[in-house]
A and B are shown apart, each in its own frame.
Chain A
């Protein structure tokens, strides 16, 4: 299934430009891709390892600002800035993850929530470095005089990074690590009893998800050329978790679909003017009531059931 799914996703990424008529539609597709990269990573933590994080926008923001500040204020080559930001955020996640992941359930939710809020506050207050609540300009990605700019080029960059992220995620889910996560998700005690180290495995999932958020954040910063602390806010964390849950937990393609729908839907609903938010809310509520496992897993089951029937 996962191999077939990956082929379908690659095909969609390759063929989508046929439907993209102008730079605006490219922009929407790029934002979908960037959100999907975060969600695929976050899904490893939430969907597979069964740990909640309400602070992932914090990692997104750290990645974005880390890369932006190194490139803009210290004149680092943008690619080096991007790589160091992602590595730096992964290290921070590793250091923080050790004590924080000892917590469970609501306590873990609170700790990660606090983490995200601290990042957002620091980014908004340190205006000497970060430009404060009004944001800062970010140099484009490139080497020397060769600069990566333009929606069409970025579409392929983001598409390629998304496919690479999905491919990595699918592989790691099928590895002993992935099976350990699912065991942890089922029962931590039982997993421990058969020799799985809960702390170590949870930490890997946490660091991987933080790294993907930081990568998407850094790419967003360089692509859009401007970044504000709103991207590190609590609301953005919630948006990311919502995308994962909406698309379907423990389904990598669900995370991609969730990101795609929740990013494009507000753009399509603008015609409804003041009813936009109400409609968006209603769509989400109805999906969660009738498809509590999320969009993709529910549809997969329905498809499988329909296939079995004729026999």
Chain B
């Protein structure tokens, strides 16, 4: 009874929010708290900020946007419950969310059954491969990061590569993808080491790599604090081979944590990280500089690529709604799939029936740490 009364009260409260002009309902489920909060928090802020801005500018097709957002805390089961809530109870027109791959994959069967367009903000390749009719995503995949890094290694004449990976979801997935694409990109993996979550010293694994004959470059598939420790140990052991990190640590935090040891480390990252230093001729400059300014002036905290994924997700949805001329789900989906030349924070998006992400390797910029700051590798 208690549950029933509260439910009735909740429905009433929602009903009173519905205005005469039917708003466009955007549903989001993000890891705002919990271990993946560093993803969900900037995503949530970005969605709130831009829904507000779009509404202030008159909305989309004369209709206001309404954001329904829930905190799934990185838990796949919670994500499932909230996706059901968004689809069944809030009756959203489009879903943007799923900060982690687990949350996204838990939602996929539901959105496919309910036939709601869904733009995921998580990284792994499994989300769009094989292609799922109603599922799209905005971030680059870890496979693309591997390819970008291997291409750069080869350009520097390194073909024998050592991997050192962490134990998290991101780390494991990227390691697997790198192993898959290595031979196609002309590199050979000669060592494959791993470390545990919360390890504070990786000299043992690095010594093993150092003693492996013929290692010409080393790649660390890692996330969080681990890569900073690996970087420090790498310099302590005096390993000379070029050292690469993943896009997972593309933040100032990593440079701060590793200090001088980070000098010369290369990593692939989105243009957002070097927004101001991009050449004026760069087509992406306006988008990333604008987003960075808006976000930082509003929240007084440094912009992250994850918030950028949410920006892209929302803007792709809005763009698709405009082109579909309304919120008919099938039309929105078709419009999303036919997105061409959309310039986002992640890069140029060209979707097709076979590619529900639409980014290519040019979306990544190869950066090098120079004097404690990022520099674009030409």
Chain A positions within 8 Å of B, measured between CB atoms, are 19, 21-25, 27-28, 31, 124-125, 127, 132-135, 137, 220, 224-228, 230-231, 264, 267-268, 270-271, 276-277
Contact = CB atoms under 8 A, between A and B. Distances in A.
A19 B80 contact: no
Contacts of A19: 3-4, 7
Size bracket, chain B contacts: 20 to 34
Nearest to A268: B6
Contact of A230 (B13, B87, B102, B109): B102
Contact of B88 (A23, A133, A134): A23
Contacts of B13: 271
A224 B84 contact: no
Interface of B: 3-4, 6-7, 10, 13, 33, 70-71, 74-77, 80-81, 84-85, 87-89, 100-102, 105-106, 109, 124, 126, 167-169, 172-173, 176
A122 to B, nearest CB: 11
Contacts of A137: 105
A90 to B, nearest CB: 24
Given A24-B89, A271-B13, A135 B80 contact: no
B76 A27 contact: no
Contacts of A231: 77
Contacts of B109: 225-226
B77 A224 contact: yes
Contacts of B169: 124, 132-134
Contacts of A24: 81, 84-85, 87-89
A267 B168 contact: no
B167 A124 contact: yes
A182 to B, nearest CB: 31
A296 to B, nearest CB: 14
Contacts of B10: 268, 271
B102 A135 contact: yes
Contacts of A226: 76, 80, 105-106, 109
A203 B80 CA distance: 36
Contacts of A270: 70-71
B81 A135 contact: no
B89 A228 contact: no
A228 B100 CA distance: 11
A230 B76 contact: yes
Contact of B76 (A31, A127, A135, A277): A135
Given A220-B77, A228-B102, A230-B102, A23 B84 contact: yes
